[in-house]
Amino acid sequence: MLLILLGAPGAGKGTQGSLLSERLGIPKIATGDILRLAVREGTPLGLEAKRFMDAGELVPDEVILGLVREALAGAPQGAILDGFPRNTAQAEALRDILAESGRAVDAVVALEVPVDAIVERMGGRRTDPVTGAVYHLVHNPPPAEVAERCVLRPDDQEETVRHRLAVYEASTRPLIDFYERAGVPVHRVDGNRPIDQVQDEILQRLGR
Ligand code: AP5
Ligand code: MG
């Protein structure tokens, strides 16, 4: 199963992707997580990516495609893609990379959440820098033993969030059409409900 999670910043791709990964027993490939790890480790990739991420801009396609090609090679049984593809060029490249091993995208889940809810979610989001786990101060609080080390993401200030939303509208939302035209099943799911309800609907739509 090769599944793409589409959705605006804060729509819940990471949250739902981790749950689905456990449930379906296939890895989650999250380009944002890979990039944040590289930034933390100060690798050349991290140094290059950081200025784009902090500004809420997309990191150049050639950087991302190298990462994804490697991650997919390590996931022959399938994967959940979170945060990739992000524009038409990436979607076309993904199709070509998968075709090399006779694979294709099986389904797309598009999480839909209104802007006000997104801005509230980002303000309350906290990430555990050790495990990468994502929490929310109100909707999904971190366990007491990790709460102190959890941090706000540098690109979660309201102004940067609004810019990321504009980038999503311009570059990423058109992928819903792209996949519908390609005949890939696209499941539009209302992401503005409790986490477990969203998860249940995704599983149901995927026939699991
Ligand atoms: P990336 O890390 O992919 O960020 P994003 O797309 O902006 O999405 P987020 O991670 O912010 O949100 P999410 O949908 O995962 O929501 P979450 O589950 O955390 O990308 C970051 C940057 O990296 C980009 O700006 C770009 O620079 C670069 N990049 C990454 N991929 C790239 C690519 N392919 N090409 C080029 N550049 C790339 O949930 C959000 C919050 O809400 C959390 O606090 C969570 O606990 C809470 N929450 C989740 N679900 C619910 C719910 N149902 N109810 C209430 N609260 C909820
Ligand atoms: Mg995420």
Per residue in 100-130, pLDDT (tens digit) is 999 999 999 999 999 999 999 999 999 998 8
CB 137 within 8 A of CB 42: no
- Report pLDDT digits (tens) over 43-77: 999 999 999 999 999 999 999 999 999 999 999 99
**Cα 60 to Cα 50, 106, 117, 132, 149, distances in angstroms:** 12, 26, 29, 23, 31
Pocket test for ligand 1, best of 58, 119, 120, 190 (most atoms within 8 A of CB): 58
Residue of the CA atom closest to atom 50 of ligand 1: 12
Closest-lying ligand 1 atom to the alpha carbon of residue 156: 11
Told to judge if 86 belongs to the known catalytic residues of this protein, a careful annotator would answer yes
Residues enclosing ligand 1, CB less than 6 A?
7, 9-15, 31-32, 35, 52-53, 56-59, 64, 83-84, 86, 90, 121, 124-125, 134-136, 139-140, 155, 164, 191, 193-195, 198
List the one residue out of 125, 124, 85 whose CA is nearest residue 105.
Answer: 85
CB 127 within 8 A of CB 137: no
Told to judge if 40 belongs to the known catalytic residues of this protein, a careful annotator would answer no
What's the pTM value of the predicted model, to 2 decimals? 0.96
pLDDT of 94 above 90: yes
- Report pLDDT digits (tens) over 9-24: 999 999 999 999 999 9
Percent over 90 (pLDDT), the chain: 96
Q: What does DSSP assign to residue 141? A: P
Query: What mean pLDDT is reported for the chain?
Result: 96
CB 71 within 8 A of CB 34: yes
125-127/134-136 β-pairing: antiparallel
Give residue 129's pLDDT.
86
